[in-house]
Amino acid sequence: MRLWRPFILLIPLLMGVFAVHYSCSDNRPKDSIPVQQSGSTLTGHWGLEKLSDYGLFQGRLADLIPAEGVLPYDLNMPLFSDYALKARFVKMPEGKKAIYNDKSVFEFPEGTILIKNFLYPNDFRDETKGRKIIETRLLIHESSGWKALPYIWNEEQTEAYLEVAGGRKEISWIHTDGKQKTLQYSIPNVNQCKGCHVKASRLIPIGPSARQLNKNFAYSDGIMNQLLRWRNAGILDQLPDDLSQCPTVPDWNHPEGSSLESRARAYLDINCAHCHSKEGPANTSGLLLDIHETNPSSLGIYKAPVAAGRGSGNLLYDIVPGKPQESILLYRMQSTDPGVMMPELGRKMVHEEGVQLISEWIAAMKPSSF
């Protein structure tokens, strides 16, 4: 018994050490907890289990009626995502504001949530025939940076659940031409979200910049320019008094009042420049497609790719002025081969209208100008 006594006396000490170790081994960062909580359980350390737990919408969830303090918004030129429509909202912490700038995405305060719902009308020709929401992506700005979370809607359209591994859903709809389309729609996992949202090694939003938000929006109480609405709502600081000083980009699908050049550059900016820019992950390609780029070679004109292969289609240059079918840029937009297509993520279908736009832009280029 005397031999065991020292070990018996050590038991409380060992239990204390174990308790301390256990608490320290839960290395979940405190700032990984979502900003908006309403008492729901967490799914691991990622976020709340259900979309409804954030309290971003009121009434029937699928109606997407924003709760108090949640503001809808839209972009002039949205990124193509297999023809999915998007319903966007922003929620900022009370008393905090985004900082305006005229070149890049606004600086949003910690605590901001950007909400993007991906949905398909049953019939694109008549949206009164109903719709189906496929997924909702949340971008949450925490003290450690932005976090992307995908929520997948159930068949009953009553709830969306966090799926950090992403998922797939078969969807079908009647397209604008009256033909039925079917698609194995892919919801990206958390890491795939980074594929588009990482710039200079930081995850950031892509859409909400001055040039994308500078447009009228039909709010429930009337039509107003979005930048003014954000300022009046107290969520945007340093907006110029003269809105004509703020940049804007055209809608690619509405040629009225805008040039082919401006629509094509805006299309490439939102669909390609999140990677193909000086701070993007594809900057080593030398192909820079952001809207501020002015160097013809950087834009791909008579620029040879850094690596030949299937992605080039045995073509010589990214863009050959006057010859869209000899341009690698268009070749990759027309492909659905995962080893060839661009963008690499976010689509499985060819954006026929986008291909037509870029084809017309390249065809209109005069070789003698370069």
pLDDT tens digits, residue range 178-201?
A: 999 999 999 988 877 776 777 777
Residue 307 has pLDDT above 80, yes or no: no
Q: Which two tokens stand for residue 262?
A: 């401006």
- The more confidently predicted of residues 1 and 181 is 181
- Confidence class of residue 255 from pLDDT cuts 50, 70 and 90? confident
Quote the CA–CA distance of 268 and 272 in Å, as a whole number. Answer: 5
Rounded to the nearest integer, the mean pLDDT of the chain is 87
Average pLDDT over residues 241-265: 91
Split at pLDDT 50, 70, 90, the class of 310 is confident
Percent of the chain with pLDDT over 70: 87
The rounded distance, in Å, linking the Cα atoms of 50 and 8 is: 48
3-state secondary structure of 45: coil
Q: Would you tell me how many other CB atoms lie within 10 Å of the CB of residue 260? A: 13
Give mean pLDDT, residues 326-330.
97
Confidence of residue 74 (pLDDT cuts 50, 70, 90): very high
Dmax over CA atoms of the chain, in Å, equals 100
**DSSP helix, strand, coil percent of the chain (3-state; round to 5):** 25, 25, 50
Angle, vertex CA 338, rays to CA 253 and CA 186, nearest 5: 70
Is pLDDT larger for residue 251 or for residue 242?
242
Q: List beta partners, residue 42.
A: 48
Q: Looking at residues 225-233, what average pLDDT do you find?
A: 97
User: Does the pLDDT value for residue 216 go beyond 60?
Assistant: yes
CB 268 within 8 A of CB 262: no
C-alpha distances in angstroms, 122 versus 79, 132, 172, 350?
Answer: 21, 7, 8, 20
Mean pLDDT of 27-45: 41
Contact 175, 181 (CB under 8 A): yes
Instruction: Output the pLDDT for position 332.
Output: 96
Predicted confidence at residue 119, as pLDDT, reads 97
Judge residue 250's burial from the number of C-beta atoms within 10 Å of its C-beta, 0-12 exposed, 13-18 middle, 19 or more buried: buried
User: Angle at the Cα of 59 (from 56 to 63), degrees rounded to 5?
Assistant: 80
Cβ-based burial of 40 (10 A; exposed 0-12, middle 13-18, buried ≥19): middle
Whether 263 has a pLDDT exceeding 90, the answer reads yes
Least confident segment among 51-60, 136-145, 336-345 = 336-345
Q: Which of 24-33, 48-57, 254-263 has the lowest mean pLDDT?
A: 24-33
Whether the predicted pLDDT of 368 surpasses 90 = no
**Over 50: is that where the pLDDT of 311 sits?**
yes
Place 31 in a pLDDT band, splitting at 50, 70 and 90. very low
**Residue-level pLDDT at 120:** 97
Cis omega (within 30 of 0) on the bond before 343? yes
pLDDT at position 6: 45
Confidence (pLDDT) at 36: 39
Tell whether the model's pLDDT for residue 25 goes beyond 50: no
Give the pLDDT score at 46: 83
Question: Confidence class of residue 16 from pLDDT cuts 50, 70 and 90?
Answer: very low
Question: Higher model confidence: residue 21 or residue 360?
Answer: 360
Q: What is the pLDDT of residues 123-143, one digit of tens each?
A: 999 989 999 999 999 999 999
pLDDT of residue 9: 43
HSE toward the beta carbon, residue 30, CA cutoff 13 A: 2
